A and B are shown apart, each in its own frame.
Chain A
């Protein structure tokens, strides 16, 4: 995909702003990040927060005279101008998110995801340890193929129902927390598994296949480590006697995996569509014509093909879209664009460059752990956008990009507000009346997040040493 998040601003840059202007906009950026971190406290949706700051940043930028003006699109004999906030938005990213959300929503209605999840539940025979392993692996796969929020919703809601059925509500907190941690591992598997991957991977010029080859070994190892930790720390044991196993198997047998399937034909078609979607996304960069249109085009095309099944009621698919998320990204891109012109990103970049002077290993590790710390407290999307822009200017070694990708994804596991999927995990926990506050989450999460980051540190260093990166 083409990456031009800040291209207009760079191309038409005006004079460097005075220091006090940069300081004012820096305060604005910090205020926005703080507001996003306190989203739950201030009872405001993400899009409202970034929308408000985009509005203030744009008018502030105009008043300060830092925003570029000029023709944005010139065709022979024509003269067009676009407001700065239109090209400021990375529409390729928006198209990927919109298209894949629509596509996933439609194929979800075929029942393929619930069928898979229930089938695995039955295969586990109701054994808690097997159930944890299956659910964790499924969370990783779903996070990679869908997105981490949808994965958490599917597996989290099944966990609540299946453990209640098995009368093992005592394990529900452990399961939901572990699954929350797994979403951010699964989010590392492919270039489109998480938004930070899309932003950072694309800006670094990492292809879909390359991304998968590098990240897959880590995902496998980290999944194993996380499951092992969960069984140890939460005391999740397998069933011991035949009587226990028979009773549990009888209970899970009451799940009917075909219940959510309304049409067998569409169920089968959805498998084909999903396989086609993954295959096409993976090979976009090699497909003639399609490669120029990018992954956003692929996602939107598959969404439209899938929606043909519900062509008479597509409004229902549209209503399932997380418009708050899309608006959040759009406004965020605008804010970041203004910050670029205000010199805020350059200022932060100076600090990051200091880290890079520590060398490839020291600098990379510092980048990863500081990215993880930052993304544990606020959304990792703005962090990825800021970091990507700075790294693009700094031309660091490729390992720095990978350290940042791992850091921004895995940092979300430290706190309940660190990533959208952990927010979903906590909301499922609270819906089931399980006691867990911010501090309780952090205490339980630290061993997992530290272990995952330590494994990531060693892995990126090793991958870099053997020339994989």
Chain B
């Protein structure tokens, strides 16, 4: 074996291991486009649901309609409150309430301009708003790169009840994979069959190993059932399928990464398309 071979072996042997760390939530901001009694009534509905997810007895701040008139002002108010979690809902300040392909400019900006997790609830005036605010039993964590993402998983664990089920879904985009393999197949110096087999094995093996470390780390602390799903597929359609198959009540996903602050790509598509279930956007 040559230098490259052993370097590859040792690089491959370094694997991310999950470290359990409970997120700290001391105060919560409810951002609404209501005011007065309407805002108080909404808080009355939302508070038990959120406190069921995290803790009870937290500091709550209601950012009502009269505290801001535009998006920058909202960002300023939220920033000053420095809460650990923002709770809001779809179509905040939206004129068209059944807008299918947008979250609305307020929510869009809120998720982009702050590093605080945003719990995005369905539209309050929707038919199943109250039903969707029942205590979740099945939480889905979705990503296309779960390995090493302790923050995402810890939030998923945090909001999943002890008796519930935590579904950890890692979906590698098969379209991207196939495209690269197709290109590799055009390069004569590369053993295509080996690359196709090995790359696939690494892409799926490493997330599976990481999820295994999650199960080990949680075994002695928590009781929830962990369901790992590591597959290649088309992210959005597979997430929808997983949601349906597991009767998911809450989805946890990243909306930012190191390269971008804006919620783009698959996270945005999920947030827009999956409207009936609360989303925790990190």
Given A114-B10, A256-B209, check contact A153 B3 (CB 8 Å): yes
Contact of B1 among A118, A259, A320 (CB under 8 A): A320
Contact of B10 among A150, A157, A431 (CB under 8 A): A157
Whether B17 is near chain A, meaning CB under 8 Å from some CB there, is yes
Whether A47 is near chain B, meaning CB under 8 Å from some CB there, is no
Whether the pair B10, A161 counts as a contact (CB closer than 8 A) is yes
Across the interface, name the chain A residue whose C-beta is closest to B205.
A259
Whether the pair B6, A158 counts as a contact (CB closer than 8 A) is yes
CB distance from B92 to the nearest CB of A (A): 42
Contact pattern, B 1-20, Cβ under 8 Å of A = 1, otherwise 0: 11100110111111111000
Whether A354 is near chain B, meaning CB under 8 Å from some CB there, is no
Whether the pair B1, A109 counts as a contact (CB closer than 8 A) is yes
Whether the pair A158, B10 counts as a contact (CB closer than 8 A) is yes
Contact pattern, A 96-126, Cβ under 8 Å of B = 1, otherwise 0: 0000000001001101001001100000000
| Distance between Cα atoms of A162 and B15 in the complex (Å) | 12
Contact of B9 among A114, A254, A320, A431 (CB under 8 A): A114
Across the interface, name the chain A residue whose C-beta is closest to B12.
A259
| Distance between Cα atoms of A320 and B7 in the complex (Å) | 15
CB distance from B19 to the nearest CB of A (A): 8
CB distance from B195 to the nearest CB of A (A): 14
| Distance between Cα atoms of A161 and B16 in the complex (Å) | 14
| Distance between Cα atoms of A257 and B14 in the complex (Å) | 9
| Distance between Cα atoms of A256 and B11 in the complex (Å) | 10
Whether the pair B9, A260 counts as a contact (CB closer than 8 A) is yes
Whether the pair A259, B3 counts as a contact (CB closer than 8 A) is no
Which B residues fall within an 8 A CB radius of A? 1-3, 6-7, 9-17, 209
Whether the pair A154, B6 counts as a contact (CB closer than 8 A) is yes
Whether the pair B13, A255 counts as a contact (CB closer than 8 A) is yes
Report B-chain residues with C-beta under 8 Å of the C-beta of A7. none
Which A residues fall within an 8 A CB radius of B? 105, 108-109, 111, 114, 117-118, 150, 153-154, 156-158, 160-162, 165, 253-257, 259-260, 320, 424, 427-428, 431
Report A-chain residues with C-beta under 8 Å of the C-beta of B15. 254-256, 259
Across the interface, name the chain A residue whose C-beta is closest to B8.
A157
A-B contact pairs, 6 of them (CB 8 A): A157-B9, A160-B7, A161-B11, A254-B17, A255-B15, A260-B9
Q: Given A153-B3, A160-B7, 17 other A-B contacts at CB below 8 A?
A: A105-B1, A114-B9, A117-B10, A153-B1, A156-B3, A157-B9, A160-B10, A161-B7, A161-B11, A161-B14, A255-B13, A255-B14, A256-B15, A259-B15, A260-B12, A260-B13, A428-B3
Report A-chain residues with C-beta under 8 Å of the C-beta of B17. 253-254
| Distance between Cα atoms of A148 and B255 in the complex (Å) | 50
CB distance from B8 to the nearest CB of A (A): 9
| Distance between Cα atoms of A305 and B168 in the complex (Å) | 45
CB distance from B281 to the nearest CB of A (A): 29
Whether the pair B6, A157 counts as a contact (CB closer than 8 A) is yes
Report B-chain residues with C-beta under 8 Å of the C-beta of A162. 10
Report B-chain residues with C-beta under 8 Å of the C-beta of A161. 7, 10-11, 13-14
Across the interface, name the chain B residue whose C-beta is closest to A159.
B10
Whether the pair B209, A153 counts as a contact (CB closer than 8 A) is no
| Distance between Cα atoms of A105 and B5 in the complex (Å) | 11
Whether the pair A114, B13 counts as a contact (CB closer than 8 A) is yes
| Distance between Cα atoms of A257 and B7 in the complex (Å) | 14
Report B-chain residues with C-beta under 8 Å of the C-beta of A427. 3
| Distance between Cα atoms of A118 and B11 in the complex (Å) | 11
Report B-chain residues with C-beta under 8 Å of the C-beta of A108. 1
Given A153-B3, A254-B17, A256-B15, check contact A118 B10 (CB 8 Å): yes
Across the interface, name the chain A residue whose C-beta is closest to B1.
A108
Interface pairs A-B: 10 shortest CB-CB: A161-B10, A259-B13, A157-B6, A157-B7, A260-B9, A108-B1, A114-B9, A158-B10, A256-B15, A153-B3
| Distance between Cα atoms of A153 and B3 in the complex (Å) | 5
| Distance between Cα atoms of A153 and B9 in the complex (Å) | 12
Report B-chain residues with C-beta under 8 Å of the C-beta of A150. 1
| Distance between Cα atoms of A162 and B6 in the complex (Å) | 13
Across the interface, name the chain B residue whose C-beta is closest to A320.
B1
Whether the pair A153, B13 counts as a contact (CB closer than 8 A) is no
Across the interface, name the chain B residue whose C-beta is closest to A105.
B1
Max chain B C-beta neighbours (<10 A), residue from A105, A157, A256: A157
| Distance between Cα atoms of A393 and B14 in the complex (Å) | 55
| Distance between Cα atoms of A296 and B10 in the complex (Å) | 31
Across the interface, name the chain A residue whose C-beta is closest to B3.
A153
| Distance between Cα atoms of A158 and B3 in the complex (Å) | 10
Report A-chain residues with C-beta under 8 Å of the C-beta of B3. 153, 156-157, 424, 427-428, 431
Report B-chain residues with C-beta under 8 Å of the C-beta of A256. 13-15, 209
Across the interface, name the chain A residue whose C-beta is closest to B16.
A254
CB distance from B267 to the nearest CB of A (A): 27
Report B-chain residues with C-beta under 8 Å of the C-beta of A109. 1
CB distance from A171 to the nearest CB of B (A): 17
Report B-chain residues with C-beta under 8 Å of the C-beta of A253. 17
Report B-chain residues with C-beta under 8 Å of the C-beta of A257. 13
Max chain A C-beta neighbours (<10 A), residue from B1, B11, B13, B15: B13
Report A-chain residues with C-beta under 8 Å of the C-beta of B14. 161, 165, 254-256
| Distance between Cα atoms of A150 and B3 in the complex (Å) | 8
